[in-house]
Amino acid sequence: MNTKFHRLKEGDKVQGAEIVCECLVRQGIKIIFGYPGGANIPIYDALYRYPSLHHVLVRHEQGAAHAAEGYAWATGNVGVCFTTSGPGATNLVTGLADAMLDSVPLVCITGQVPSGLIGTDAFQETDVVGVTLPVTKHNYLITRPEEIVSVIHEAFYIASHGRPGPVLIDIAKDAQTGYAVFHYPRQQDYLKEKVKMKATDDEVVKITNLLNSAQKPLIVAGHGMLLSGDGKTLLAIAEKQDIPVTLTQLGLSTIPTNHRLYMGMPGMHGNVAANRAPNQCDVLLAVGMRFHDRVTGEVANYAPQAKIIHIDIDPSEIGKNVKPYLGVVGDAKTVLEQILPRLKSKKNQEWLSQFTAWKNEEKVKVFDKELKSKKLKSAQVVEMLSEETNNSATIVADVGQNQMYAARYYSYRSYNSHFTSGGLGTMGFALPAGMGAKSGDPEREVWIVIGDGGIQMTLQELATIVQEKLDLKIALLNNNYLGMVRQWQELFYKGNYSEVKLKNPNFQKLCEGFGIPSLKVTNQNDVRKAIRKARKTKGPYLVEFIVEAEENVFPMIPAGAGLDGMIVCKEDMKK
């Protein structure tokens, strides 16, 4: 352990607040996203004496949670937040729910009213453990300073082991100010028993046999694959047996988008090949994914003919949505490493040529139309952004049409370079999450892709970005609509545009007010120039792209329909 930043020695008698900071240092934490208030002010006082803990003062606690998510995603470490009691803590809830659904490791430390006042409806008292129970992997209430060390230790362990997730620690103010003797605990091994990482020998044999005898195999890999550490094992398996690979939205960038075996993203706005293949394959290897409804469509019609092998680290995911032929609990990469040496080499020309045909169908019906249109399309912006950044920037996508364009048109080449709010679909996620990603890993070139609706949900974080002097770029895809909702209304609600038109602020002036340089782009010829200008400028930069107002994301599987209900393009819908 690097002890350079330690301030406490074993046996020191100090205030709980100081123990909180010391524990964070010992967990290797360097950045905290937070907001002070009456119930956590002792922690901020202790923080003052811990210069190795850099605190990012967000402008809203939701921003702290998303920033911590972005940080966790970019660094692989646990993201940490501080907030005060009551409103400070309730403002975290959306971020916790987001992290819970997308398995992002967080430790959020909230101040609570003094223990003697708990339950009395005191000033800024909220039952934070009660409120956050459904949106955390685990949570704690601490009322005595002696409990702090072991709880923080355990919280980090829980947040980051097995399937990651958010953990909240609510600390009563008197536990922050009270004194306790500092003793750093040892690793608590009993928690480990709950996580099964490896497949059993029997399971390995079964998986191998299924793959070895498959005629039309398909891989669907998700966030669990990305989280397990690298895409190389996955690629090695795919290449050894010529298996087409699809990546769910949260699995994007696990393998390079331009790899010959990459067949796209499945799901509601996924790629044609990735949505056709599940219903034609004979063996479907699902790894580190959870058969989410946005991925499967109507679940009864999902891959009924296929022998599904489901590998996931979370036992409760096996059989939850789709009943697999073979369910294996384990870490994605670990299990794939176990099976790789037993796989025989195979070629799959015929099956792969089917994918070429599907890809071509999408090219003709979707890509060409989007990318060759004379009007400025979001797809073009994202594609040009991809080229201008050598396909190697980190894209932090918000929610809505912009998110789908970011997923579909950026060519991800570097591992773990796409972050978004997948499970909860939280508008406003990207601005703070991008901020957290850049803070955690300044070497990354980070681009936030966001819509005009979403940016206004957490807009105040622009001030944080400036205060932190972050070299962060924002591509605002402005269609002056809540575009994704408008699309549904156009396609499924007779074109009744109910409350989706936005009268937006002047984003240039707004940026000016925050002290962020910006450019507005209204036609194709200026896109690259603007991106180059943004990249050349040190510090934050926003480019507003005025994209075609009523563009639609295709293909689309309407909500509730099965994969066979995929509408490839609007013309197909009229048939």
Ligand X SMILES: Cc1ncc(C[n+]2csc(CCOP(=O)(O)OP(=O)(O)O)c2C)c(N)n1
Confirm whether 388 is a catalytic residue.
no
Q: Which of 45, 239, 298, 314 binds another protein (CB under 8 A)?
A: 314
Q: Could you say whether residue 428 binds Mg ion (CB under 5 A)?
A: no
- Given 457, 484, 556, 566, which residue is catalytic? 484
Confirm whether 173 is a catalytic residue.
yes
CB-based contact 31:54 (threshold 8 Å): yes
Nearest to 299 by CA among 321, 320, 327, 281: 321
**How far apart are alpha carbons 36 and 459 in whole angstroms?**
20
223 versus 276: smaller Cβ distance to another protein: 223
Nearest to 93 by CA among 431, 426, 448, 418: 426
CB-based contact 507:456 (threshold 8 Å): no
Judged by beta carbon distances under 5 to 8 A according to partner kind, the member of ligand X, Mg ion, another protein, none in contact with residue 425 is ligand X
- Given 61, 69, 317, 362, which residue is catalytic? 61
Smallest gap from residue 481 Cβ to Mg ion (A)? 5
Instruction: Read off φ and ψ for residue 342, nearest 5 degrees.
Output: -95, -5
Q: Could you say whether residue 251 binds Mg ion (CB under 5 A)?
A: no
Checking DSSP bridges between strand 13-15 and strand 179-181, what pairing results, if any?
antiparallel
Running DSSP on this structure, what letter comes out for residue 490?
H
394 versus 421: smaller Cβ distance to ligand X: 421
**How far apart are alpha carbons 275 and 555 in whole angstroms?**
10
Smallest gap from residue 66 Cβ to ligand X (A)? 11
**How far apart are alpha carbons 289 and 356 in whole angstroms?**
25
How distant, in Å, are the alpha carbons of 493, 507, 562, 563 from that of 559? 13, 33, 9, 10
**How far apart are alpha carbons 7 and 74 in whole angstroms?**
28
Judged by beta carbon distances under 5 to 8 A according to partner kind, the member of another protein, Mg ion, ligand X, none in contact with residue 323 is another protein
Nearest to 348 by CA among 255, 221, 211, 247: 211
Q: Which of 64, 158, 210, 527 binds another protein (CB under 8 A)?
A: 158
- Given 5, 30, 124, 520, which residue is catalytic? 124
Judged by beta carbon distances under 5 to 8 A according to partner kind, the member of ligand X, another protein, Mg ion, none in contact with residue 137 is another protein
Q: Could you say whether residue 197 binds another protein (CB under 8 A)?
A: no
Contact pattern for another protein over residues 530 through 559, marking x by CB under 8 A:
------------------------------
- Given 13, 123, 469, 501, which residue is catalytic? 123
Report 446-465 residues binding Mg ion (CB under 5 A): 451-453
432 versus 483: smaller Cβ distance to Mg ion: 483
Report 25-44 residues binding another protein (CB under 8 A): none
CB-based contact 388:447 (threshold 8 Å): no
Q: Which of 215, 316, 360, 392 binds another protein (CB under 8 A)?
A: 316
Q: Could you say whether residue 487 binds Mg ion (CB under 5 A)?
A: no
The strand ranges marked E within 459-540 are 473-478, 518-521
Q: Could you say whether residue 454 binds ligand X (CB under 6 A)?
A: yes
Smallest gap from residue 225 Cβ to Mg ion (A)? 31
Nearest to 167 by CA among 102, 96, 227, 223: 96
Q: Which residue is nearest to Mg ion (CB)?
A: 451
Q: Which of 6, 323, 363, 529 binds another protein (CB under 8 A)?
A: 323
Tell me which residue has tokens 């995603």.
Answer: 73
Q: Which of 76, 315, 517, 565 binds another protein (CB under 8 A)?
A: 315
Q: Could you say whether residue 133 binds another protein (CB under 8 A)?
A: yes
Q: Could you say whether residue 129 binds another protein (CB under 8 A)?
A: yes
Running DSSP on this structure, what letter comes out for residue 501?
B
Give the interface segment with another protein, choosing from 168-176, 253-261, 317-325, 404-412 (CB under 8 A). 317-325
**How far apart are alpha carbons 427 and 280 in whole angstroms?**
35
Give the interface segment with another protein, choosing from 55-63, 108-116, 135-143, 258-266 (CB under 8 A). 135-143
137 versus 486: smaller Cβ distance to another protein: 137
13 versus 320: smaller Cβ distance to another protein: 320
Q: Could you say whether residue 403 binds Mg ion (CB under 5 A)?
A: no
Preceding amide of 266 cis, omega within 30: no
Within a 10 A sphere around the Cβ of 155, how many other Cβ atoms?
Answer: 27
The b-or-e profile of 532-558 (16+ CB within 10 A means b, else e) is eebbeeeebbbbbbbbbeebbbbbbbb
Q: Could you say whether residue 461 binds ligand X (CB under 6 A)?
A: no
CB-based contact 481:542 (threshold 8 Å): no
**How far apart are alpha carbons 317 and 329 in whole angstroms?**
9
Within a 10 A sphere around the Cβ of 175, how many other Cβ atoms?
Answer: 27
**How far apart are alpha carbons 18 and 16 in whole angstroms?**
5
Confirm whether 298 is a catalytic residue.
no
Smallest gap from residue 401 Cβ to ligand X (A)? 4
Q: Could you say whether residue 482 binds ligand X (CB under 6 A)?
A: yes
Give the interface segment with another protein, choosing from 93-101, 209-217, 256-264, 315-323 (CB under 8 A). 315-323
Q: Could you say whether residue 144 binds another protein (CB under 8 A)?
A: no
223 versus 377: smaller Cβ distance to Mg ion: 377
E strand or H helix at 26, and its extent? helix 16-26
Please give the radius of gyration of the chain, using alpha carbons only, rounded to the nearest integer. Answer: 24
Q: In terms of C-beta density within 10 A (0-12 exposed, 13-18 middle, 19 or more buried), how is residue 349 classed?
A: exposed
How distant, in Å, are the alpha carbons of 98, 236, 333, 389 from that of 134? 12, 39, 29, 40
Number of residues located near Mg ion, criterion CB under 5 A:
6
Q: Which of 28, 116, 119, 319 binds another protein (CB under 8 A)?
A: 319
Q: Could you say whether residue 137 binds another protein (CB under 8 A)?
A: yes
CB-based contact 242:261 (threshold 8 Å): yes
Contact pattern for ligand X over residues 386 through 425, marking x by CB under 6 A:
-------------xxxx----------------------x
Enumerate binding residues for another protein (CB under 8 A).
129, 133-134, 137-138, 141, 158, 191, 194, 314-316, 318-320, 323
Return the active site residues. Answer: 61, 123-124, 173, 484
Enumerate binding residues for Mg ion (CB under 5 A).
451-453, 479, 481, 483
Enumerate binding residues for ligand X (CB under 6 A).
399-402, 425-427, 451-454, 477, 479, 481-485
